[in-house]
Structure 1
């Protein structure tokens, strides 16, 4: 089964797991049922939702487990990303199963604190799946880290829309059964595919071409989901129409497998041609065995340069050794200024972006948007989020390879654009939420592909999972600050004495002006990080890329 032992199959397995692991994005489907069956008020439900956000973003444990199981473990049988997937599958099943059992009355109604724990476990599984897939992807495609992170993070962003299509097609009107489905599907998919997600530290020709094919499929899938979402908000689709669109969606999900087979077939053909050429040169140009061509120093390099793709082959170049020496653990990274600059930038970008999506329905209501328009804004957010996650990684890779632009510059660009998006929402002109949500959604999503990639480049891939998941804590922290302490506080002040309701631009204008200022500050912090790391990118990252392109 050598064909299953390649980085391309590992990528397909990661894509499929990512597509089923974004269950935290579907909270809106079953939140009303959870609220009614457990007797919660809105404040209590919001508390449960906060634990969902914390669980889905605070992935330090998953990073530590990845580092110990892949980098530090001395037990061969206990090594590999599958250990992280197994832990994620356990958390996913236990969390959602106990929530489902509480909703249907299988177990006694749990205290709020215990339900928060169930929600935390269910959402926390996402960080284990995401860490195992993303860090493995960066290890397999180190030269195109931005592209592979963009692809995998993009599919995670689309997973919410995919799971909602499953609900609309199969479980419509039955959110309690959908909870049981969320306990089973991600668990089953990860257990089925976890041994295929493996580290294959090899370089092969035309990697970028095949990654572009994966990217094209992802873009096609995003466009298809966007069309379905728009049609659903305009027309009432019949059951046969939903089934037809869902089958086509499954075909799109299966298409990356064809790309993987094609990539591996080309690798095998190139390997065969290389051996044939070398064999011919030995027959027609025999040389003494003492020739420098057969020295051990050259053998190791020649062995690495073979266009093979088996996970059993390891690169042994000087650059890979240097890269290992550059790896920092979490404590070392946290002692550097670059870590905190990146953390502060993410606090500004992720925090204000997540606060916007958490309050977009309330903003729409205050500005007089209809229920259908508000639903469209919420549904389309996943598409803009995907475009940001995918596009930032892909575009930053192009400019890094062709122009040598250090990647932190793109954090500065996207956060400056994010500030513009907040200003547009604050302005309140007709249709402002459509324009503003696109800019905010794309720029928010871009942080999720840029930050892990920059972490791997600045701090190394050895402890990448732990480091980027620690920085990701900035997202729920920022969301709490800007959602509760800024937007919620100002809204309650303005709405005081009006039955806790507020209408007009005054309800959120000041909040979005504050968040625009914060995003602009994040842009300046990112620029400082760019100037601090520009020399490092020129001397280390670009040199490594040039060496890899030569080999």
Structure 2
């Protein structure tokens, strides 16, 4: 059977579905804390290294550029995946060894290193998957990136469902599962991933079917999460729901086979891609240093600091916020669990809608950064002044997730595809950087002052009102920054529309 771009897409989806272990920290954080004798501050320090590792992917981008630029590594994508697999297995395996007592308690610095490696591996998977998706579907890069980022957003919830079915409530076994299962899936499928941007004339219907599968899985997970937070599932229910979930996760293969048969039965002429690479336009592909010397790079980076930083700070503190607003434990757990779903909807929806807007009106994607920041302002004010964490968490989750499909796609369109892995991973550093500023310097300091004044803890709207007022102002500034980027790139997106009309 021909290894088409459709089978490549399925392999990418399966790697994405199993590589989001960084989103499962809450499952094993308690056993990590107790087994290593950590206090909360030390545990938070280890968690910070998880965030840093999962968002600083410059090395992944450089390795991808090196193996795809060298004639010695014509099919060198496996090297990037292998680098991720080694880090993934090593990081989680040594954490498991420490938690089970097989090795002596490592120094905190070593545990931070293990956590960094485990999370950093995801950037090697994600970089390869995103760049290949953009190259294989140049006309629908927003949709393809949204699908890939959406599946990795669902990954944490999927891995947790599998864990509950196989191991019940045994987080130590979960750590070993994280070390082995995603690595095996990647090793088994990475040879199928390749760049093959052939026949762009009929991609949209098949991409829509991948999108539908992602939406069905997200809806199914949302229902299961809500039910699990209300009822205690017996073992047969876990087995049934996980079996259904696995079947859904395998279903993209049917879409790929259908797409492949359709192309073989009635081959259509290869259309000129709407979004071509910059080499085809006789323009210069920018490397990282060249991109960093442009105003557009820093406008995009600053916009991401505002929306990603404040969004991640809110997500990381949602439990504390819920407790201060007197939500019940069940309500808080449900909102935390559903955050993965809202994150997915943002990642998927922003890519799909921005593609539609671009193809129909030639509108620039940076406008959607402005619109999501505006919605984020509404979300922050909703939490800070009404205390409605249900509505606020949905808005924040969707808007935060949307940046993970918008930012890589915009990067490829402004700076080119050749070095986009390095460039978008550098811009992604805005997320942990902004999160540190807004978590520690804003939410942390303000809450601690109010808690101290109240005798050690704080309850009520006043605990976080000032923090969310500051977040609203920050996103207001981010709206201006992203609008400037939108105005500066109008010519670029007008030329994309013009090429479509000519095609």
In the superposition, the TM-score normalised over structure 1's length comes to 0.89
Match of 1:384 among 322, 338, 342: 342
Equivalent residue for 1:471?
A: 427
- Looking at structure 1, the residues matched to 34 and 278 of structure 2 have their Cα atoms a distance apart, in angstroms, of 56
Greater C-alpha Rg: 1
Equivalent residue for 2:465?
A: 509
In structure 2, the CA distance between the partners of 1:499 and 1:46, relative to structure 1 (3 Å rule), is farther
Equivalent residue for 2:213?
A: 217
**8 Å contact from structure 2 (residues 279, 285) kept in 1:** no
Q: Unaligned stretches of 5+ in structure 2?
A: none
Q: Secondary structure at the match of 1:206?
A: helix
Match of 1:73 among 70, 74, 98: 70
Cα shift at 1:107: 1.1
Cα shift at 1:203: 2.6
In structure 2, the CA distance between the partners of 1:318 and 1:173, relative to structure 1 (3 Å rule), is closer
- Looking at structure 2, the residues matched to 40 and 51 of structure 1 have their Cα atoms a distance apart, in angstroms, of 15
- Looking at structure 2, the residues matched to 236 and 226 of structure 1 have their Cα atoms a distance apart, in angstroms, of 16
Cα shift at 1:497: 4.7
Determine if the alignment matches structure 1 residue 128 to structure 2 residue 124: yes
Cα shift at 1:362: 0.3
Structure 2 counterparts to residues 474-485 of structure 1, below 5 A: 474-485=430-441
Equivalent residue for 1:17?
A: 15
Determine if the alignment matches structure 1 residue 394 to structure 2 residue 352: yes
Equivalent residue for 2:204?
A: 208
Structure 2 counterparts to residues 502-541 of structure 1, below 5 A: 502-539=458-495, 541=496
- Looking at structure 2, the residues matched to 63 and 133 of structure 1 have their Cα atoms a distance apart, in angstroms, of 11
Cα shift at 1:490: 0.2
Determine if the alignment matches structure 1 residue 356 to structure 2 residue 356: no
- Looking at structure 2, the residues matched to 213 and 445 of structure 1 have their Cα atoms a distance apart, in angstroms, of 21
Equivalent residue for 1:295?
A: none
Equivalent residue for 1:44?
A: 42
Structure 2 counterparts to residues 82-101 of structure 1, below 5 A: 82-101=78-97
Equivalent residue for 2:332?
A: 374
- Looking at structure 1, the residues matched to 352 and 20 of structure 2 have their Cα atoms a distance apart, in angstroms, of 22
**8 Å contact from structure 1 (residues 80, 198) kept in 2:** no
Deviation readout 1:427-476 (Å, 9 max, x if unpaired): 134xx000000011100000110000000000000000000000000000
- Looking at structure 2, the residues matched to 514 and 69 of structure 1 have their Cα atoms a distance apart, in angstroms, of 44
In structure 2, the CA distance between the partners of 1:202 and 1:326, relative to structure 1 (3 Å rule), is farther
In structure 2, the CA distance between the partners of 1:409 and 1:12, relative to structure 1 (3 Å rule), is same
- Looking at structure 2, the residues matched to 105 and 73 of structure 1 have their Cα atoms a distance apart, in angstroms, of 44
Deviation readout 1:274-297 (Å, 9 max, x if unpaired): 7xxxxxxxxxxxxxxxxxxxxxxx
Cα shift at 1:402: 0.5
Q: Unaligned stretches of 5+ in structure 1?
A: 275-304, 308-313
Match of 1:186 among 182, 186, 191: 182
Determine if the alignment matches structure 1 residue 170 to structure 2 residue 170: no
Match of 1:420 among 370, 378, 403: 378
**8 Å contact from structure 2 (residues 278, 284) kept in 1:** no
Cα shift at 1:168: 1.6
Structure 2 counterparts to residues 141-156 of structure 1, below 5 A: 141-156=137-152
Structure 2 counterparts to residues 297-376 of structure 1, below 5 A: 305-306=269-270, 321-323=279-281, 325-376=283-334
- Looking at structure 1, the residues matched to 277 and 190 of structure 2 have their Cα atoms a distance apart, in angstroms, of 30
Cα shift at 1:546: 3.9
RMSD: 1.6
Equivalent residue for 1:289?
A: none
Match of 1:441 among 381, 397, 421: 397
Q: Secondary structure at the match of 1:496?
A: helix
**8 Å contact from structure 1 (residues 344, 474) kept in 2:** yes
**8 Å contact from structure 1 (residues 204, 267) kept in 2:** no
Equivalent residue for 1:462?
A: 418
**8 Å contact from structure 1 (residues 324, 462) kept in 2:** no
- Looking at structure 2, the residues matched to 114 and 358 of structure 1 have their Cα atoms a distance apart, in angstroms, of 23
- Looking at structure 2, the residues matched to 324 and 212 of structure 1 have their Cα atoms a distance apart, in angstroms, of 32
In structure 2, the CA distance between the partners of 1:142 and 1:104, relative to structure 1 (3 Å rule), is same
Cα shift at 1:320: 6.5
- Looking at structure 1, the residues matched to 278 and 205 of structure 2 have their Cα atoms a distance apart, in angstroms, of 23
Match of 2:369 among 402, 405, 411: 411
Equivalent residue for 2:498?
A: 543
Cα shift at 1:235: 1.3
Cα shift at 1:47: 0.2
- Looking at structure 2, the residues matched to 363 and 139 of structure 1 have their Cα atoms a distance apart, in angstroms, of 42
Q: Which runs of 4+ in 1 moved over 2 A?
A: 317-326, 497-500, 541-547
- Looking at structure 2, the residues matched to 331 and 134 of structure 1 have their Cα atoms a distance apart, in angstroms, of 21
In structure 2, the CA distance between the partners of 1:470 and 1:545, relative to structure 1 (3 Å rule), is farther
Equivalent residue for 1:58?
A: 56
Q: Secondary structure at the match of 1:222?
A: helix
Match of 2:134 among 121, 133, 138: 138
- Looking at structure 2, the residues matched to 507 and 260 of structure 1 have their Cα atoms a distance apart, in angstroms, of 51
Cα shift at 1:318: 9.1
**8 Å contact from structure 2 (residues 91, 115) kept in 1:** yes
- Looking at structure 2, the residues matched to 259 and 157 of structure 1 have their Cα atoms a distance apart, in angstroms, of 21
- Looking at structure 2, the residues matched to 397 and 323 of structure 1 have their Cα atoms a distance apart, in angstroms, of 21
- Looking at structure 2, the residues matched to 321 and 464 of structure 1 have their Cα atoms a distance apart, in angstroms, of 14
